[in-house]
Structure 1
Amino acid sequence: MGKVKRIVRSACRMCHGVCQVLVHMEGERVVRITGDPESPISRGYLCPKGAASPELLYHPDRLIYPLRRAGKRGENKWKRISWEEALDEIAHRFAAIKAESGSEYVAICQGTGRPLIEFTVRFANAFGTPNFVSVGHVCYLPRVAASKITMGQLPVTDVYGFGGKDPECMVIWGCNITHSGSADGMCGGMIERALKRAGKVIVVDPRRTKPATDATHWLQIRPGTDGALALALIHVIITEGLIDQDFVHHYTVGYEQLAEHIKPFTPEWAAPITRIPPEEIRAAARTYAALSPACMLWGSATDASASNYQTARSLLILRALTGNIDCPGGDVLWVPPKGVQQKSIFMSYEQDGAQFLPPDKIGRAVTLGKYPLERSIHPPTFWKSVVTGDPYRVRAMWIAACNPLLSQTHPLVIEKALRDHLEFTVVSEFFMTPTAALADIVLPSAMWLETDDVVNLHKIWCVLARKKVAQIGEVRDDREVILALAKRLGLEAAFPWEDYRAYLEWVLRDSGMTFDEFSDRGILQGEMRYYKYKVNGFDTPSGKFEFYSSISEALGLSPLPQYREPALSPLSSPQAAEQYPLILTTGARSRVFFVSEGRQIDSLRKANPDPIVEVHPATAQSLGIAEGDWVWIETMENRIKMRAKLFDGIAPDVVSAQHAWWFPEEGPPEYGWKRSNVNLLFGDTAGYDFETGSECLRSSLCKIYKVEMTMNS
């Protein structure tokens, strides 16, 4: 008899979209992933990353059991050990350092918002270390902070039609979700569907993305100047009387101060900054204000800037001025399902375990107070502290779901910290990476097909079931590992569950369902209610949407939105621009890679085999560069190699470089991480946002030239 074929309904986690999928099984083997056509969140959509899940699951190079370093760091000599040995050693080393130096001498590092974030931050706080390192300062958290301070909760684009309306106007601001497949719990397929139904589309992006091609207004902005454009749009809407009178006068505070504040920020003021003609700014503002409901999908392009918090505040203010908050088809505040414990640290601030951090440790963070809105430790400052010992040198670190040599700036400093200064480093990963190669212990992480979960990190309005269908080697869910380590370290108050399955049952305890029953159902949805502010107000000190932010003022920040020019740009650094005449924007989302992940997957790598830098054809011709040439991208910090792709959808003085490139096929010790790693191009010269510590990764200065050319030619 042949192997029994069956289909298991689950939720993909190859990126941030969390689309519902069908897992096709033959016996115990996963053979194919397809989109679930009955899913209300994705309607059968599946991106290439999701389809490639079986390739990741069964990849021959996966880490499948714990390893202990057996040679020098980076020498690629390892000894297989048991999980008990690994956990006992980690617990012993962490506990010894805590006793000898203090809990703050152990740091936790995590990359993008993986599901384990519900435990990593909690573990750090429970252990007693304020040193939790993440890249949130350039991705997502500035928007979360601005939303929390301005209106109490992050608004999300309403494209599902629960209220009987689709968006009449859609603004896509610094987000390429229809190409990448997802962002922040939003499915690219659902955005494509909404774009087709919308009457008008406004795209703000320096690159001609797919939505920009057919948009009513494509505002081709100079990279890094989003805040200036937002202020000019606010100016037009206020001065032309295009506001929603009812919302502004009954549910907001500070309108008079905003109206006075906004007077200088005319489209004529913004035009030379943004390079968008005044008449285009006015036309876009009128379109956005005239059509209701309108929604705005924003991306991480606004986060990696010189004024990300203030820009996010401006974009929230645009929503409020036009009355597009919490209305059907607008930007809504989702209602979570009843009976399910909220796991998202973005919705429940108790989930991150801040209540367990000893008060005397709050002042012991490496970078505490440097940036008033930082919720985690500023990565560049942290890594420098490990190398310099200023203000003190962290001794041990656990790096989970993160490859900082590729995903963070100052990677040469990070390499030195990992190789020469940290006494003990643990890395949890799918594969051996350049970062893991410098660890003392490497732990094999389970991927989404190997985990059970109640999924609600980003979705909010629903929770999804993820069902374990496979087990390769000895891989473990990172949350199981954290629970096991927490028990060894006496952290039961923060982690009272017997095991990970007991935790999942606790999450569902008020729903009346066991995890198995929930898995059979697949999804639980909240009962969406709109215009909740009319009854409940907003979760702010005033109870209203705050144009004039009382919390910002209390923190010593501007209570009204501002714009700051990037420290390294053609306007702020004309002398540097003479030597480096091109604007370098990085981080445009890939359809086939998720940050640094996926370079080992054959089907994904075939679609994007080499690192790409987009160059305008006229610029390429003037520099003697042809399609496919290897070119140097050089900044005042360093230079890297990428292949040129000629693209007339960017300005002639702008180049767009892919990020997080390494070459797993080259093997240890470095896996080619220094050749095309765009983060080698950034230093302190571009400055940091003084509110969040953000870095200007989308608007630096560079020059490019063919690899065959000399550096001085």
Structure 2
Amino acid sequence: MQTQKVTFCRICEAHCGLVATVEDDRLLQLRPDPEHPLSRGFTCPKGIAMADVQNDPDRVLHPLRRTASGDFEQVSWDEALDDIATRLARVYDDHGGRSIGWYFGNPTAFSYSHVLWLQGLIMALGLEHVYSAGSQDVNNRFVASTLLYGHAASVPVPDLARTDLLLMIGANPVVSHGSLVSAPRMKEDLRAITARGGRVVVVDPRRTETAALFEHVPVRPDGDAWLLLSLLHVIFAEGLADEAAIRAQSTGVDALRDAAASYSPEMTASRTGLEPDEVRQLARDLATAGSAAVYGRTGSCLGNHGTLVSYLMDALALVTGNLDREGGNLFGRNPLPLERVGELAGVLSYDRRRSRVGGFPDILGTWPAAVMAKEIRQPGAGQLRALFVSAGNPVLSVPNGPELASALGELDLLVSLDLYVNETNKHADYVLPTTTWLEREDVPVASLSLYTVPFIHFTEATVAPYGEARPEWRIIDDLCDRMGITPFAPTRLLSPGPVPATVGRAAGRALTAVRRRLPRLTPERVLDLALRAGSVGRGVPRLTLARLRRHPHGLVLGTGLSGGRLGEVAKGGRVRLDAPVILEELSRLGAARGADEEFPLQLIGLRELRSHNSWMHNAPTLMKGRNRRHGMRINPKDAADAGVAEGQPCRVRSAYGEIEVPAMLTDEVREGTIAIPHGWGHQGGWTTANRAGGANVNLLASTDPDDLEKLAGMAVLNGIPVRVSPA
């Protein structure tokens, strides 16, 4: 008998509503949910194609163990977990928690239970080697928020419903559907701005799908910091700044004013590639608009100065009077006390400790994934010896994948929790099968403060786990049981003597024995407690899990965001505009090198509508079509200069590596720029993805600590100097 079950997508931050058709606990189909209050019958192709992933014959459904020949054999959960626990305990006893690491990919952010129990393990073992896909994505946004507001989680979102002018830098929400802002019908929201007489201005080296619909400012790759400083220069020099807002909301504006004074549009023209008059007019338009919002995403994050760019975007909103103001950039309210608990637990940290390699500050408890291989190979105290990878594929997503793949073989233990045998975990000792998001309950915890309309959504599991798949939290919990440790209970606090590992684990076993006699702590229990302790604002009944269950399509918590919250989200109620590390970064910006004759073009990334990082290229629905191929977008003039033609295989070389891709001639990229999508070049255990071919564009990027973005340790994936020639 077929049934219809309501759920929501957990591929990106839009979280569109879905309806699943299920028969005999098997998923037959996914379709948009017309009753979802925000997405209202919309979802993108990736959400529908999740049915392919759910039913994929290549999916891992049983625990796998590597054999002596390098193949995998199926084993039982008890065999796998017993051996993993024994080997992990040996590493812990010999070298301590500082020698154990965990890498988690983007899907982790869309599973509250995964994140919660991973944090429990980190606290229990005292892990320091924690890495995430954030260092190839968004970490510098959290650094900028820490420097500006004193809180990493204070991230303003554009007030799409009321703004008169939206300035987007390096964002393509028509394809990505928005990130660090949750607005399921983003394309419709953007069109509504222009329909009411407003403007949408897209700053990007490529005429993206979003830029093609609105106004396009074709900045040079990695020129965003110079452009933003020039906009501030004009606003200050022409007396266009909102001095009342500056006095009320900030400290240290004189340092920013002095810094911007050196960056006139004429001075920065060679960096931005823009006419000075165009930059001046944009600055005037921003300052004089009835309201204006500034928004940036990965295109603005992945250059050499991504933290500075995020910092300057918020500063631009502030000095034009548009920060914490309706129609500008607003701060959402999380109905869960995540920020409060995160601060107390030390999770929302910045620069609490430094990596051994490169001396990079931690960001939300994580270090740059680009140094992971070097942390495995560099001997000494704290050397990375055992690694877990969950919902991630760093061999494809981190620069210099071959370096990491080689280093993984030197670990004492490598364990993966995933849906597939991918390019990373094909090197693992064990691959443990995890549930898809259709097989677990969930709340979009990480996005609750980023909705443009206050909203919360709980979903039950749509189908039972296929095969022997288990949710990540349960795998972690079972592993802790076997090791005699308790999630969230720091082992080192139980063992303050000179032999913390042995004494601590003995104490942990005693605590575990007590825990087994008590009702099992589960993520749902924690979630219900957090809901009851949270705040939803005036006039809204307190949330409970039972109440959310009564609203399967989600629950709207307000009509829109409001201003006047800066006093709650910024320490001391003011924005700091003169952080010393930002002033140091400005000095590095002034010393940045110019054009490189050996590598005359600049590479930027590219997100495709039917790709999602590196894990959805095995879905036939997304990979069908004659033109579904990997390629390099290049301007016809640059192609002629390089001697390459449409469809011709090309060699793309940087100072760090080279790849081969076919040329796709188009004027959507400005001269001097090439664009190549990431996430391709599969060589794992997935049939369709391997057959698709393509190349791993991150082979052109560097893992040298001197080449990483300084303040956040971000991999530099935009603005890479390259040379193109016929293959």
TM range (shorter): 0.7 to 0.9
Equivalent residue letter for 1:302 = S
Asked whether the 8 Å contact 2:246–2:318 carries over to 1, the reply is yes
Instruction: Output one character per residue of 1:3-56: Cα deviation in whole Å (capped at 9) or x when no partner.
Output: 23x322211012333222222334533232222333333232211100101111
Instruction: Report matched runs for 1:595-634 at 5 Å.
Output: 595-607=613-625, 609-634=628-653
When normalised by structure 2's length, the TM-score is 0.85
Asked whether the 8 Å contact 1:158–1:328 carries over to 2, the reply is no
Alpha-carbon RMSD across the aligned residues, in angstroms, is: 3.0
CA distance in 1 between counterparts of 2:359 and 2:657 reads 30
Secondary structure at the counterpart of residue 167 of structure 2 = strand
Partner of 1:562: 586
Partner of 2:413: 424
Residues 1:239 and 2:237 aligned together: yes
Partner of 2:210: 211
Secondary structure at the counterpart of residue 154 of structure 2 = coil
Asked whether the 8 Å contact 1:444–1:474 carries over to 2, the reply is yes
Q: CA offset at residue 398 of structure 1?
A: 0.4
Q: CA offset at residue 264 of structure 1?
A: 1.3
Residues 1:194 and 2:160 aligned together: no
CA distance in 2 between counterparts of 1:158 and 1:684 reads 33
Q: CA offset at residue 275 of structure 1?
A: 0.8
CA distance in 1 between counterparts of 2:239 and 2:21 reads 56
CA distance in 1 between counterparts of 2:146 and 2:131 reads 21
Q: CA offset at residue 121 of structure 1?
A: 3.9
Residues 1:469 and 2:462 aligned together: yes
Partner of 1:532: 564
Asked whether the 8 Å contact 1:304–1:694 carries over to 2, the reply is yes
Partner of 1:66: 63
Equivalent residue letter for 2:521 = E
Instruction: Output one character per residue of 1:101-135: Cα deviation in whole Å (capped at 9) or x when no partner.
Output: 11111111112234233433442232111110123
> 1:244–1:9: structure 2 CA closer, same or farther, 3 Å change rule?
farther
Residues 1:95 and 2:89 aligned together: yes
Residues 1:401 and 2:391 aligned together: yes
Partner of 1:315: 313
Asked whether the 8 Å contact 1:126–1:494 carries over to 2, the reply is yes
Instruction: Output one character per residue of 1:62-96: Cα deviation in whole Å (capped at 9) or x when no partner.
Output: 00011111224xx3x22212223222222222222
Residues 1:78 and 2:98 aligned together: no
Asked whether the 8 Å contact 1:640–1:677 carries over to 2, the reply is yes
> 1:515–1:36: structure 2 CA closer, same or farther, 3 Å change rule?
same
> 1:498–1:667: structure 2 CA closer, same or farther, 3 Å change rule?
closer
Q: Give the counterpart of 2:325 among 323, 327, 340.
A: 327
Asked whether the 8 Å contact 2:27–2:51 carries over to 1, the reply is yes
Partner of 1:436: 425
Asked whether the 8 Å contact 2:347–2:365 carries over to 1, the reply is no
Partner of 1:136: 134
CA distance in 1 between counterparts of 2:408 and 2:6 reads 41
Q: Give the counterpart of 2:269 among 268, 271, 287.
A: 271
Equivalent residue letter for 1:208 = R
Instruction: Report matched runs for 1:164-313 at 5 Å.
Output: 166-187=162-183, 189-198=185-194, 199-216=198-215, 218-313=216-311
Q: CA offset at residue 444 of structure 1?
A: 0.8
When normalised by structure 1's length, the TM-score is 0.87
CA distance in 1 between counterparts of 2:546 and 2:569 reads 37
Instruction: Output one character per residue of 1:338-372: Cα deviation in whole Å (capped at 9) or x when no partner.
Output: xx453xxx7752586659x9xxxx86853484347
Partner of 2:677: 658
Q: Give the unaligned 5+ runs of structure 1.
A: 708-713
Equivalent residue letter for 1:499 = T
Q: Which moved more, 1:505-514 or 1:481-490?
A: 505-514
Q: Which moved more, 1:363-372 or 1:454-463?
A: 363-372
Q: CA offset at residue 282 of structure 1?
A: 0.8
CA distance in 1 between counterparts of 2:401 and 2:237 reads 47
Q: Which moved more, 1:386-395 or 1:314-323?
A: 386-395
Instruction: Output one character per residue of 1:276-308: Cα deviation in whole Å (capped at 9) or x when no partner.
Output: 111111111112222232222210222222222
CA distance in 2 between counterparts of 1:368 and 1:175 reads 30
CA distance in 2 between counterparts of 1:296 and 1:38 reads 31
Instruction: Output one character per residue of 1:648-690: Cα deviation in whole Å (capped at 9) or x when no partner.
Output: 011222111111213368869x958996111112225772222
Asked whether the 8 Å contact 1:310–1:563 carries over to 2, the reply is no
CA distance in 2 between counterparts of 1:32 and 1:352 reads 41
Equivalent residue letter for 1:687 = D
> 1:200–1:35: structure 2 CA closer, same or farther, 3 Å change rule?
same
Secondary structure at the counterpart of residue 96 of structure 1 = helix
CA distance in 2 between counterparts of 1:526 and 1:141 reads 28
> 1:378–1:499: structure 2 CA closer, same or farther, 3 Å change rule?
same
CA distance in 1 between counterparts of 2:623 and 2:164 reads 38
Asked whether the 8 Å contact 2:423–2:682 carries over to 1, the reply is no
The structure with more helix, counted as a fraction of residues: 2
Asked whether the 8 Å contact 1:168–1:292 carries over to 2, the reply is yes
Partner of 2:25: 28
> 1:463–1:561: structure 2 CA closer, same or farther, 3 Å change rule?
farther
> 1:347–1:525: structure 2 CA closer, same or farther, 3 Å change rule?
farther
Instruction: Report matched runs for 1:661-680 at 5 Å.
Output: 661-663=680-682, 676-680=695-699
Asked whether the 8 Å contact 1:121–1:352 carries over to 2, the reply is no
Equivalent residue letter for 2:167 = V
Identity fraction in percent: 24
Q: Give the counterpart of 1:518 among 522, 539, 548.
A: 548
CA distance in 1 between counterparts of 2:78 and 2:225 reads 52
Number of equivalences: 671
Equivalent residue letter for 1:602 = P
Asked whether the 8 Å contact 2:91–2:385 carries over to 1, the reply is yes
